[in-house]
Chain A
Amino acid sequence: MLELAVGIILGCCALGAGVAMIAGIGPGIGEGNAVAKACEAIGRQPECKGSVTSTMLMGCAVAETTGLYALVIAILLIFVAPNMLVNILLGVIG
């Protein structure tokens, strides 16, 4: 029974990590669109290249933050949460 409980904990943690990493798809698409539009803008006005690049870099970094949060959550779920949860389970059982 204990093995089953531990297996469920590990499986749910892995599943949660996988679901969390879905959030990593969004920033990739968003950054790609931003850079594509920036290319278009620079093509129209090449003299604005510096300011467009600077603004876009900051925009990309902001867009990427959500992906990084998801990554942190996934790593916590894989490496930290299972030990904690199994310890709690063992503590409850005694």
Chain B
Amino acid sequence: MKKIEPTIIKETLYILVCVVILSVLMEAVFLFIRRWDYTVLLGNLLTGFAVTLNFFLMGLGVQKALGKDEKEAKKIIRLSQVYRYLILIVFLVIGVVFSCFNNWAVFVPVVFPRIAIAIRPLFNKKKGVQEVVGDVVPQESQEETKEQIQENTAQLEQQDVEE
């Protein structure tokens, strides 16, 4: 079995933590409006697990696609999406059909990963630019690269003129 990339594990963990925090918030809201019972908790657990699994499987699909050429990568991702949708449909239908799951608690966690991604820039700002961008190229080497590109372009133009 191929080793899972650390980036995928890191991002899935981030999504998992955010889903857990938002789930706790949702439970608190249900408690506040006095609608909380065990069905809310079960529905929340079911869909929270489903969306996190969906994100992890998407990561695995992306990892599998990265080593391939463009057309094959597209096919792999589309196939992965179909399978992930089927898995989600199964979870959501179970949540709706069985009365031991609260309908609201089943559907609301579907948007949690989107919220987690929306609030991500807030955490990245604190870390600083260097960590977010990754390997930042120093200003001097950037200028050197620009000069090299200009030289190469000039050489190519000369070759074209000679031809």
A-B contact count (CB 8 A): 106
Known: A32-B78, A67-B85, A71-B85. A54 touches B96 (CB 8 A): no
Of B33-41, B108-116, B143-151, B153-161, the one contacting chain A is B108-116
Taken residue by residue from 11 to 51, chain A's Cβ proximity to chain B (1 for < 8 Å, 0 otherwise) reads as 00000000000001001110111011011101000011111
Q: Is B88 an interface residue (CB 8 A)?
A: yes
Size class of the contact patch on chain B: 35 or more
* Interface of chain A residues 57 through 74 with chain B (CB within 8 A): 57-58, 60-62, 64-65, 67-69, 71-72
Size class of the contact patch on chain A: 35 or more
* Complex alpha-carbon distance, A50 and B135, angstroms: 10
Contact residues in A for B133 (Cβ distance below 8 Å): 51
Which residue of B8, B63, B73, B93 contacts A36 across the interface (Cβ within 8 Å)? B73
- Which B residues are within 8 Å of any A CB, using their own CB? 5, 7-8, 10-11, 15, 55, 58-59, 62-63, 65-66, 68-71, 73-78, 81-82, 85, 88-89, 92-93, 96-97, 103, 107, 110-111, 113-114, 117, 120, 133-135
- Which A residues are within 8 Å of any B CB, using their own CB? 24, 27-29, 31-33, 35-36, 38-40, 42, 47-51, 53-54, 56-58, 60-62, 64-65, 67-69, 71-72, 75-76, 79-80
